[in-house]
Structure 1
Amino acid sequence: MADTKTGFSDAERAAMQQRAEELRTSKGLKGAAKLAKELEACVEAIDALSGTDREVASTLHRIVTEVAPQLDPKTWYGFPSYARDGKVVVFYQPASKFDTRYGTVGFQEDALLDDGEMWATSYAVIEVTPAVEKTLRELVARAAG
């Protein structure tokens, strides 16, 4: 429910606080130390999930590692995310984060998914199947370039 004073729900405010904490914890870190800290945070975010959310996030993590190792794991608003040059390309927004019916695999502006005048940037995932994994693999490979 949105707060009438700020317009943000409790979950949205918590996500913003989480993002501020992500920035604080990596402040001053550079190079390999920063990458290691961000990988650790990403894995911890995945490990904190359960059920379908954990299965989708773990599958996405494995796929990115296999087909787009040039993307760096990190968290972004608490979501397991993968970035190129510090900019998020792909992320998983768990259903549990905002108490929604399904989690989504989302792609940000730096994803190379452009296809004419219109293309999808978010995909609802309710179950990991071989077909879902194949589609995610293709999307991640394309998005990473």
Structure 2
Amino acid sequence: MAGTKDSGYEGFTAEERAAMKEHAKEQKKAARRASAAEKAAEAERDVLDKIAAMPESDRVMAERVHAVVTAAAPELAPKTWYGMPAYALDGKVVCFFQSAEKFKARYATLGFSDLAKLDDGPMWATGFALTEVTDEVEARIADLVKRAVG
């Protein structure tokens, strides 16, 4: 039959399905929160809880990334996004930390959405592999986050 060739697509991975379920729970939880101050405080607690639950190597990096992002761009609000620590401007995610364990990758990732103002000519990076967060890496993250919020 024409058009029935097996494409090899096997659907979403278990990790991707779990992330989508986490995102749905996050949306429901956020909708139930009352005041803006309560939403912000609970959202940050959710981020810190996600970080605390990570394996040690990811947790150490995520704690440092969280400290750098919140210091470099206090206008970004911590929130969870698909079960990952993320930082949003006016409710829209600008950057996020993806642990290596989340999708069974060999490195953690600091990622930026298309809202990040990192444009640099016709091509630029929006994701950065992290194997360790050194003082030099912290400085680079701070610079990227400051640029991202413009």
Between the aligned residues of both structures, percent identity stands at: 47
Alpha-carbon distance in structure 2 between the residues aligned to 1:81 and 1:36: 14
Asked whether the 8 Å contact 1:3–1:9 carries over to 2, the reply is: no
Please list every run of at least 4 consecutive aligned residues from structure 1 whose deviation after the TM superposition is greater than 3 angstroms.
Answer: none
Asked whether the 8 Å contact 1:11–1:98 carries over to 2, the reply is: yes
Match for 1:16 among 6, 17, 20? 20
Give the secondary-structure state (helix, strand or coil) at the position aligned to 2:125. coil
Give the secondary-structure state (helix, strand or coil) at the position aligned to 1:53. helix
Alpha-carbon distance in structure 2 between the residues aligned to 1:3 and 1:38: 35
Aligned to 1:73: 78
CA RMSD of aligned residues (A): 1.5
Give the count of matched residue pairs: 142
Aligned to 1:86: 91
TM-score by length of 1: 0.93
Alpha-carbon distance in structure 2 between the residues aligned to 1:51 and 1:120: 27
Larger Rg: 2
Alpha-carbon distance in structure 2 between the residues aligned to 1:20 and 1:67: 29
Match for 1:121 among 126, 129, 144? 126
TM-score by length of 2: 0.90
Alpha-carbon distance in structure 2 between the residues aligned to 1:129 and 1:27: 37
Cα gap change, 1:16 to 1:3, in 2 (>3 Å): farther
Matches within 5 A, 1:28-39: 28-29=32-33, 30-39=35-44
Alpha-carbon distance in structure 1 between the residues aligned to 2:103 and 2:56: 15
Q: Which runs of 5+ in 2 are unaligned?
A: 1-7
Q: Which runs of 5+ in 1 are unaligned?
A: none
Give the secondary-structure state (helix, strand or coil) at the position aligned to 2:74. coil
* Partner amino acid, structure 2, of 1:63: V
Asked whether the 8 Å contact 2:69–2:141 carries over to 1, the reply is: no
Alpha-carbon distance in structure 1 between the residues aligned to 2:23 and 2:51: 16
* Partner amino acid, structure 2, of 1:125: L
Aligned to 1:108: 113
1:3 positional shift: 8.4
Give the secondary-structure state (helix, strand or coil) at the position aligned to 1:111. coil
Aligned to 1:56: 61
Asked whether the 8 Å contact 2:15–2:102 carries over to 1, the reply is: yes
Alpha-carbon distance in structure 2 between the residues aligned to 1:117 and 1:92: 25
1:51 positional shift: 2.3
Alpha-carbon distance in structure 2 between the residues aligned to 1:117 and 1:123: 18
Aligned to 2:139: 134
Alpha-carbon distance in structure 1 between the residues aligned to 2:78 and 2:53: 16
